[in-house]
Chain A
Amino acid sequence: MQISNRDDELNMYKAKNSAEEVKKHEDNCKIKSPNFLMERAAGDFEGCFYYMCNDMEICIDRGRYVQFYDFDYIYDPCVKNITPAYDLFLNNGLLDLNYHNDISNDLFCQRYNSVIDSIEILIKRVITELSMSNFEEREKKKRWFSNMLVTSAKSFEEALQRVLFLEQLLWQTGSRLVGLGRMDCYLRPFYYEDIKKGISKTEIYNEIVEFLEEAHNYYWYKSDVLVGDTGQVIILGGIEPGGEYVFDELSELLLEAVKNSKKTDPKVVLRVSHSMPVEVMNKAVGCMLMGNGSPLLSNDDVIIPALQQFGIKDDAYDYTTSACWEPLIGGKSSSMNNQACLSFAKALQNMLFEEQLDKIKDYSTFENKYFKYVKREIIRCKRLISQRRYSRNTLYSIFIKGCYQKKTDIVDGGAEYNNVGFTTVGIGNTVDALLNIKEYVFEKKELALIDVKKVSLYNFVGYESLYDKLKDRGSFFGRDDIEITSLTNRIMRYVTEETKDYSTSAAGKLKFGISSPSYIFESRNCLASFDGRKKGEPFTVHISNEKVDSYTELISFAGMIDYYENRFNGNVLDLIFSPSFLEKNLEKVSLMFLYGIEKGFFQLQTNVISSAVLKAAKDHPEEYGNLIVRVWGFSAYYVQLPEEFKDLLIKRAMENEVVV
């Protein structure tokens, strides 16, 4: 899917660019270095990297930053969905990161230094290219790249260049979903230093704007499963260990720049807390109103204690997220947080078809037996996780803290944190199905379990009036009722029981959440479920319920879920707003979110969409090329989405509009 999406996007590139540019690009698409292929076949990361750094094409344009990609070099998929330690590269010269002692007996250190040597070669090539150019600011840029080798960045602009350069190396070597981390934190010293030097906020804002444009460049190349899913997430704000909420001038400039960018990425995750000023929340909601899907709100008041309970102490205050939302410690984590997907709905389906249903006489027995089938799915996930193997990645090992000290590659547990995450899907549908079974089979005794099985098998054929009833009543999931939240928590705690003692080969622990990118992918082969979902229809999207006529109820529901122990790998309340509603009620929505933080939601994201516009865009995509929507945890251009994703958004928008 990834390659075909890239082919589609390359065709789009051809449609938008001149014949001369297309020919140049096509010439570049011929593999140039046979040595690269040999080293790649041998699994030699360092060898491949060396050839690439010596050989890759450097085309420097007149933009503020130096950025270039050579699509010739195709690496195998490798570690992804993590965030490098940008501060290492901003506050040190590259050569400072070397091992300076005798490494003749240490293969890891030799590989490590060889990759740094290769980067040095590349940097020197860039300097040479700049020297040969006639750009006005070439001397400044040459200084930037010279500094890169031996000292820290000397300005905010120079720091942004280093971020782009490091990021580019990671994209170039096959990594995907490369996060941008806590930009307002690691750039803060450079920002205030520039302000002291008399550089205006406007100038710094312009530097950020151009940085975002460069980062967005070639987003189709950087995309993972769907176009737009690049993982370039900027984390802003957050509480400090002393309890103070920090969102300063730089945070504001970054948020403002993303708000005005009208692009799908980079996107923002805003860390929030009950102690945050309402003005900051107003700005966040103002950004949401632009419809570009940013920011996702991440509740420090819930997440930091959850991380600490899991065993991450002071570093918990420094958390970032994976590409979508899964908390991890950026710069120190090898946590790939999406290593398997557990389908609660599939577990229920399996039970209906394998269990002796006529022997189950009460709901309690039914639920307990259901958990046996959840356990089977958990075992499958564990097996998948334990079998995953990644080729070593010395580049990431340089920029993830811990690997240097341990002299261990990131894939072998070199990072400071090596936990692994999996996602779950279908909990909403399953909670509804279980409660419906409880009511119709065990309380009202209107149906038998065999009927539940038949509903699944025959896709509601013969049960049409039941289907209408289940659809009309709407979903339980998302209603702040104690029975519903208790069942949700029971299911989640069961998964914890079965996963808390698991240890990866790198001594990492397992974590999970109830948000997932797979609400369509995993549902395709799932039969009808007893919540009114027909065969193949998408599962509930994260924590959502468009038929609940009260946002506060959904927020309350989200606040009643227990996210502790290992249940913190992303739990997103997904709300739909019509643009007119949000515009009219911006301040009250902002307050509602603030109070929702007190209620204890984990994370919250919005889709600000109108069904009329979505339908028009589906029918006339050529007129809506810039329409942006939120899809699982990223923003995408609506017209570039597969049809089933478009249709699901239309359905959800319509349901929301009926209720509101």
Chain B
Amino acid sequence: MCFDDGPGIRTTVFLQGCSLCCPWCCNPETQRVHDESSCDENHELYDLDDIKRQLMKDLVFWQNGGGVTLSGGEPLLQSRDLRELCVYLKELNINIVVETSMFVPTMNLDDLIPFVDLWYVDVKILDTNMCKIVLHGDIKLFEKNVAYLRSKNCKIHFRMPCSSEYTLQEKNWDRIVSFLKNYSNYPVDIFPIHNLAKRKYLQKGMKYIEFETIQADKMKQLCQCLMNNGINASLMNL
């Protein structure tokens, strides 16, 4: 159950596997495609029928715009299987939101575009070199995919995690502003990166970087800066 992953009350499906490895990731247990350690007693592997069965328990809560959010990890890595789930949900007129970083083959988007009501797209590191080094991602692919979504008239909502160590570095910030100005019709939520996932990293024996807490005033300044550039920005209160 979630209140923040889209309109209304939502049930979020966290898919295993991601094409990136963001240092601030809140769900590190979903990064690796095959990760048996994620299948501990609190996590289970589900096939499609299992997922449908689990999701339908929440059907009554999805009224008034609520529904299912596909997240992860990177849900678009499993777009082919998710297509079948989306077909099923759409037959029931269920609202579908996808949270994605867009670092996936473009053809994966085609699997889900007909069904998704809202795309939450992460905007994080757009500087080419930084993106390659930190995220292990190809920024050209990201830009191409976002443009593709726009060309298909998809409803896009950008989300930007703010970190002094990474995303707010000057070069990257300039790139982000420049990018978002090109998509000024689409809303952007910005939020400060937190350290709430630290426990998960430590439990999995993963290296954890403690992030500086960005104060509320600074966040307001950042938001105002974006708005001054004609970008439809809001502060997201996590």
Contacts and interface: CB of A to CB of B under 8 A. Distances in A.
Contact of A473 (B8, B42, B64): B42
B30 to A, nearest CB: 15
Contacts of B66: 591
Contacts of A550: 1
Interface string A638-660: 00000000000000000000100
A585 B10 CA distance: 13
A591 B42 contact: no
The main secondary structure of chain B at its interface with chain A is loop
A568 B63 CA distance: 29
A168 to B, nearest CB: 46
Given A591-B9, A595-B63, A552 B42 contact: no
Interface in A437-478: 469, 472-474
A552 B11 contact: yes
Contacts of A142: none
Contact of B64 (A551, A591, A599): A591
A551 B1 contact: yes
A588 B64 CA distance: 10
B215 interface: no
Nearest to B199: A658
A584 interface: yes
B69 to A, nearest CB: 13
B237 A553 contact: no
A367 interface: no
A474 B63 CA distance: 30
A598 interface: yes
B58 A588 contact: no
B9 A592 contact: yes
A473 B63 CA distance: 32
A480 interface: yes
B148 interface: no
B9 A588 contact: yes
A491 B48 CA distance: 33
A347 to B, nearest CB: 27
Given A552-B61, A584-B237, A591-B64, A473 B3 contact: no
A598 B8 CA distance: 17
A333 interface: no
A585 B1 contact: no
Contacts of B63: 591, 595
B57 interface: yes
B90 to A, nearest CB: 21
A480 B57 contact: yes
Contact of A595 (B11, B57, B61, B237): B61
Q: Which DSSP category, helix, strand, loop or mixed, fits chain A's interface?
A: helix
A584 B2 CA distance: 13
A469 B61 CA distance: 33
Contacts of B3: 585, 588-589
B202 interface: no
Interface string B93-133: 00000000000000000000000000000000000000000
Contacts of A473: 41-42
- How extensive is the interface on chain A, given as a class? 20 to 34
B11 A474 contact: no
Contacts of B8: 588, 591
Contacts of B9: 552, 588, 591-592, 595
A175 to B, nearest CB: 42
Instruction: Indicate the member of B57, B64, B199 with the most A CB atoms within 10 Å.
Output: B57
Contacts, number: 41
B60 interface: yes
B173 to A, nearest CB: 27
Interface string A238-260: 00000000000000000000000
Indicate the member of B3, B11, B199, B237 with the most A CB atoms within 10 Å.
Answer: B3
B64 A552 contact: no
B60 A599 contact: yes
Q: Range of interface residues on chain B?
A: 10 to 19
B198 to A, nearest CB: 12
Interface in A517-565: 549-553, 556
B201 to A, nearest CB: 15
Interface string B66-91: 10000000000000000000000000
A223 B199 CA distance: 43
A214 to B, nearest CB: 40
Given A474-B42, A584-B237, A585-B3, A592 B61 contact: yes
A472 B1 contact: no
Interface string B35-74: 0000001100000000000000110110110100000000
B48 to A, nearest CB: 19
A556 B199 CA distance: 28
Interface in A486-535: none
Interface in A557-602: 584-585, 588-589, 591-592, 595, 598-599
A585 B3 CA distance: 7
Contacts of B41: 469, 472-473
A473 B41 CA distance: 6
B237 A552 contact: no
A307 B133 CA distance: 66
A591 B61 CA distance: 8
Contacts of B11: 552
Contact of B60 (A474, A588, A589, A595): A595
Contacts of B57: 480, 553, 556
Interface in B1-44: 1, 3, 8-9, 11, 41-42
Nearest to A585: B3
Contacts of A599: 60
B211 to A, nearest CB: 19
Give the interface centre of A473, A552, A585, A599 by most chain B CB atoms within 10 Å. Answer: A552
A553 B66 CA distance: 16
B228 to A, nearest CB: 27
B95 to A, nearest CB: 14
A589 B1 CA distance: 11
Contacts of B61: 552, 591-592, 595
B60 A598 contact: yes
A368 B123 CA distance: 58
A306 B237 CA distance: 42
B192 to A, nearest CB: 15
A637 B83 CA distance: 53
13 contacts: A473-B41, A551-B1, A552-B9, A553-B57, A556-B58, A585-B3, A588-B3, A591-B9, A591-B64, A591-B66, A595-B9, A595-B60, A595-B63
Which 6 pairs across A and B sit closest by C-beta, in order of nearness? A550-B1, A552-B1, A473-B41, A588-B3, A585-B3, A595-B61
Interface of B: 1, 3, 8-9, 11, 41-42, 57-58, 60-61, 63-64, 66, 199, 237
Given A550-B1, A588-B9, A591-B61, 20 more contacts: A469-B41, A472-B41, A473-B41, A473-B42, A474-B42, A480-B57, A551-B1, A552-B1, A552-B9, A552-B61, A556-B58, A588-B8, A589-B3, A591-B8, A591-B64, A592-B1, A592-B9, A592-B61, A595-B63, A658-B199
